């Protein structure tokens, strides 16, 4: 059967012209792009440092995991700190190490109840030491976990995440702009732009601390010398707060259920730790201003703190009960300055040792 297109038909067609586009030489362009990028980075770095920022570690999930793994690498019979931001800012590892001859593991996470971390320590055969558990009532008894991803990453970290964290930590101590608070999207979100009617934007928590490689942290000095920044931090802490009694009934019921659940979880984890010889010390660090009202509103002492100590039999240190934990400056109601944290850690270490010795003496006399 003849083809529908014969060779004689094709012979009359002209071959289509083929054009060859020259490949551009990108050497100069690439060099120019690199120079412009470097200039912009340098300019951004200078601007961030002009705001009083110095390079520090980023408090990443991977950095927390690195410290958590120290417990499985020989530090499990020593001191571990967990809790929320008050423990993270107020306990200075260098001071504790000077007094105790051993550096603690810092596992406190800002905006996060420590109950899940406490349960992890209870289940970890490598931990048999002493754990200081910070109790920020509004967080501890609500179960809120801003940094839950860090806790989960301890079990689930991939090789890629591990490698990425190591690379990041190589440059973090040298670049001030390498911080979430100074990323361009974050700065753009903070601009005073008109909002649509009825739309309210919450203020984001700003930079509050400088962190070292092993997560030793100090309150950022700007909160000491910059009154406007200090007042901004207070405004952020107090925004949207309502007394428990004024919240919708379903919200009230949820918070009360969470309070009971967190108590039960903390008691169970503490008893497991005590059964394997670990020491658990609960601590409420100083707070004032807005928090002096808000903390006891959501978690009254007699219904939470006192019950926790009664059911666990653990040592509990509340700042209202001990002079060593009083008289410190809290610029934004919740955290101590670096110098105050040094002073507090030294006094707090002495208090802990005294109270532990007293409990041991009572036990021996029984």
Are the CB atoms for 233 and 332 separated by under 8 Å? Answer: yes
| pLDDT > 90 fraction of the chain, expressed in percent and rounded | 83
Give mean pLDDT, residues 40-68.
94
Tell me whether residue 19 is in a domain: no
The total domain count for the chain is 1
Using the predicted structure, report yes or no on whether residue 26 has a pLDDT greater than 90.
Answer: no
CA-to-CA distance for 213 and 182, rounded, in angstroms?
A: 20
Is 168 a residue whose pLDDT tops 80? yes
Does residue 337 form part of some domain? Answer: yes
Q: Answer yes or no: is 199 within a domain.
A: no
**Is residue 36 situated within a structural domain?**
no
Asked if 67 and 57 touch (Cβ cutoff 8 Å), the reply is no
Location of structure tokens 């997560």 = 215
pLDDT band at 194 (very low <50, low <70, confident <90, very high): confident
Has residue 47 been placed in a domain? no
Q: Say if 49 falls within a structural domain.
A: no
Instruction: Write out the residue range of the structural domain in which residue 360 sits.
Output: 56-180+206-365
Long-range contacts of 66-69 (CB under 8 A, 24+ apart): 66/165, 67/105, 67/106, 67/107, 67/214, 67/215, 68/105, 68/107, 68/120, 68/154, 69/154
CA-wise closest residue to 60 among 124, 138, 142, 154: 154
Better-predicted residue by pLDDT, 22 or 321: 321
Determine the pLDDT at residue 14: 61
**Is the CB of residue 212 less than 8 Å from the CB of residue 104?**
no
Residue range 89-121, pLDDT digits in tens: 999 999 999 999 999 999 999 999 999 999 999
Mean pLDDT over 130-150 rounds to: 97
Is 303 within the bounds of a domain? yes
For the segment 124-129, the average pLDDT, to the nearest whole number, is 97
- Count of Cβ atoms closer than 10 Å to residue 346 Cβ: 16
């Amino acid at each position: 059967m003849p083809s529908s297109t014969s060779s004689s038909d094709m012979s009359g067609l002209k071959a289509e012209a083929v054009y060859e586009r020259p490949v551009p030489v990108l050497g100069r362009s690439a060099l120019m792009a690199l120079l412009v990028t470097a200039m912009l980075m340098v300019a951004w770095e200078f601007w961030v440092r002009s705001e009083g920022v110095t390079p520090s570690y980023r408090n990443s999930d991977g950095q927390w995991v690195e410290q958590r793994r120290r417990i499985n690498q020989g530090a499990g019979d020593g001191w571990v700190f967990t809790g929320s931001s008050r423990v993270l800012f107020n306990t200075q590892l260098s001071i504790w190490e000077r007094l105790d001859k051993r550096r603690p593991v810092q596992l406190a996470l800002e905006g996060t109840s420590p109950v899940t971390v406490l349960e992890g320590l209870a289940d970890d055969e490598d931990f048999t030491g002493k754990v200081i558990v910070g109790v920020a009532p509004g967080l501890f008894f609500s179960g809120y976990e801003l940094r839950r991803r860090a806790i989960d990453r301890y079990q689930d970290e991939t090789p890629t995440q591990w490698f990425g964290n190591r690379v990041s930590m190589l440059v973090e101590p040298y670049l001030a702009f390498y911080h979430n608070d100074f990323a361009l999207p974050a700065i753009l979100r903070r601009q005073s732009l008109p909002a649509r009617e009825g739309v309210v934007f919450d203020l984001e928590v700003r930079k509050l601390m400088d962190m070292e490689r092993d997560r030793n942290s100090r309150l950022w000095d700007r909160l000491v010398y910059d009154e406007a920044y200090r007042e901004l931090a207070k405004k952020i802490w107090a925004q949207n707060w309502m007394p428990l009694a004024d919240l919708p009934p379903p919200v009230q019921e949820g918070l009360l259920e969470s309070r009971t659940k967190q108590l039960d979880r903390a008691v169970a984890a503490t008893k497991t730790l005590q059964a394997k010889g670990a020491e658990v010390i609960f601590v409420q660090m100083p707070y004032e201003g807005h928090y002096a009202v808000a903390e006891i509103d959501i978690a009254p002492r007699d219904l939470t703190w006192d019950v926790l100590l009664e059911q666990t039999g653990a040592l509990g240190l509340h700042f209202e009960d001990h002079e060593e934990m009083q008289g410190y400056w809290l610029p934004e109601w919740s955290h101590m300055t670096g110098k105050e944290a040094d002073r507090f850690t030294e006094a707090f270490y002495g208090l802990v040792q005294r109270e532990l010795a007293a409990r041991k003496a009572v036990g021996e006399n029984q």
